[in-house]
Amino acid sequence: MPENYFGERVAERYDEPTGEEFEPAVIESTVDFLADLAGDGDALELGIGTGRIAVPLAQRGVHVHGIDLSEPMVAKLRAKPGADDIGVTIGDFATTTVDGTFRLAYLVYNTIMNLTTQDAQVACFENVGAHLEPGGCFVIEVMVPDLQRLPAGEIFRPFDVSATHLGIDEYDLLSQGLISHHYNGKDGKFELLSMPFRYAWPAELDLMARLGGMRLRERWSGWNREPFTAASTKHVSVWEKPE
């Protein structure tokens, strides 16, 4: 099992609304997008976490099953009203199998990057391909690698600087590695939390989808189907398993 970076400390504060991902309007457009693709089929969320998306999606009538390796994150999900009908399997979403097939699988909020090797990311696409029914879709929401903002020769990029939080990304350009360092301030003291990621260009993810038996169907820069352009900082991609 990979190392769990979402232990008690992270789970405790995860649902405190800090970023735009926790804004009700953003959650609503995410759920609209996913519910539309699920139709009357079942959905599988990889890295379901505390159910930020799974709970409102289930409330729309979509049957959701999740995979996650963090017991503390899943405990937060289980404590939420509306989570009773959501099944969760504890395991690594790159390799864990669950019963049944799904119309929709989804992996949001940069969570594909938590798989820190190319092999693990490919295994994840293959695992999803094996769980989708023909015509089913895999949706990923992930940042476009931020390399345009990394000065030549540098490996550190501050991405958030405030009185209570200092966020610095550390790049390893050879392995496409990225460690996000978060210095969280409270009562005049800063506590460090560092988490490793692997970034990938959209084209590499398209190739992984092919290895998993899927083809790109749509790519947007947001959940409201905003156009994806060279200036986009993230993408919402949909790959389809052929009928």
Residue with smaller CB distance to ligand SAM, 3 or 187:
3
- Under the binding rule (CB under 6 A), the answer on residue 121 touching ligand SAM is no
Q: Where does this chain touch ligand SAM (CB under 6 A) — which range of 64-72, 150-158, 164-172, 203-211?
A: 64-72
- Under the binding rule (CB under 6 A), the answer on residue 145 touching ligand SAM is no
Number of residues that bind ligand SAM (CB under 6 A): 20
CB of 243 to ligand SAM, least distance (A): 28
Mask: binding to ligand SAM, 73-102, rule CB under 6 A, as x and -? x------------------xxx--------
Q: Which of 37, 57, 58, 69 is the binder for ligand SAM (CB under 6 A)? A: 69
Q: Where does this chain touch ligand SAM (CB under 6 A) — which range of 31-39, 42-50, 199-207, 223-231?
A: 42-50
Number of CB atoms found within 10 A of residue 59's CB: 15
Backbone φ and ψ of 188, nearest 5°: 80, 0
- Under the binding rule (CB under 6 A), the answer on residue 123 touching ligand SAM is no
Q: What is the DSSP string of 136-197?
A: EEEEEEEEPP-GGGS-TT--EEEEEE-SSEEEEEEEETTTTEEEEEEEEEETTEEEEEEEEE
Residue with smaller CB distance to ligand SAM, 10 or 214:
10
Spatial contact of 108 and 84, defined as CB atoms under 8 Å apart: no
- Under the binding rule (CB under 6 A), the answer on residue 6 touching ligand SAM is yes
DSSP state of 104: E
Which residues fall within 8 angstroms of residue 211, CB to CB, at 6 or more apart?
A: 122, 125, 126
Q: Which of 27, 52, 76, 142 is the binder for ligand SAM (CB under 6 A)? A: 52
Nearest to 205 by CA among 230, 236, 174: 236
- Reported in sequence order, the residue ranges of the chain that DSSP labels E, i.e. its strands, are 43-46, 64-68, 87-90, 102-107, 132-143, 156-161, 165-172, 177-186, 189-198, 215-220, 234-240
Mask: binding to ligand SAM, 98-117, rule CB under 6 A, as x and -? ----------xx-x--xx--
Task: List interacting residues with ligand SAM (CB under 6 A).
Answer: 2, 6, 47-49, 52-53, 67-70, 73, 92-94, 108-109, 111, 114-115
